[in-house]
Amino acid sequence: MFRKKNVLKKSLGFLLITSILVSVIISVMVTANADTTHFKSSEFKCKCCGKLPSGGISQDLMNKLEVLRSKLGNRKITIVSGYRCPSHNKAVGGAKNSQHLYGRAADIIVEGVAPSTVANAAESIFSNGGLGRYKTFTHVDVRGYKARW
């Protein structure tokens, strides 16, 4: 009887540890950074609170930024604004339904490349997304349809 109890305790403990391990592995997989060769999702954190969207930064966005980066001669790309939490989006006067709210947009600066040149290069890569031309940076997003401003 005593031994049986011990065996039961041990196997329960083993089950507990296994289930904890499995849930840790699953949560790591679900929230896994969509890091690419030159971009870390941490670079897209909200400027006011350091948060990322629950679903992470769009993998499509990061992949397209990689394509853009190589198209422009592998120069360093700085993410000026990536994810914006609702209050930060309001604070910076972002659009009500801004793609920045969903981790699908980035305002970027490419080292040594004029924003207009960056935008021209982004045209075809983001043909099915948003492209905003600004004096000092370029906005790109992967909204799923073409938008230009």
Q: Is 48 in the site for Zn ion (CB under 5 A)?
A: yes
Q: Is 142 in the site for Zn ion (CB under 5 A)?
A: no
What are the phi and psi torsion angles at 81 (to 5°)? -150, 125
Q: Single out the residue of 98, 32, 106 nearest to residue 69, CA to CA.
A: 106
What residues contact residue 38 under an 8 Å CB cut-off, 6+ apart? 65, 66, 69, 77
What residues contact residue 20 under an 8 Å CB cut-off, 6+ apart? none
Q: Which of 44, 102, 107, 126 touches Zn ion by CB under 5 A?
A: 107
Place of tokens 């043909």: 127
Q: Is 65 in the site for Zn ion (CB under 5 A)?
A: no
Shortest distance, CB of residue 57 to Zn ion, whole angstroms? 14
Q: Is 95 in the site for Zn ion (CB under 5 A)?
A: no
* Burial of residue 69 (number of CB atoms within 10 Å: 0-12, 13-18, 19+): buried
Q: Is 104 in the site for Zn ion (CB under 5 A)?
A: no
Q: Is 88 in the site for Zn ion (CB under 5 A)?
A: yes
Task: Compare residues 16 and 48 and give the one whose CB is closer to Zn ion.
Answer: 48
Shortest distance, CB of residue 100 to Zn ion, whole angstroms? 6
**Strand, helix or coil for residue 117:** helix
Q: Which of 101, 131, 139, 142 touches Zn ion by CB under 5 A?
A: 139
Contacting positions for Zn ion (CB under 5 A):
46, 48-49, 85, 88, 105, 107, 139
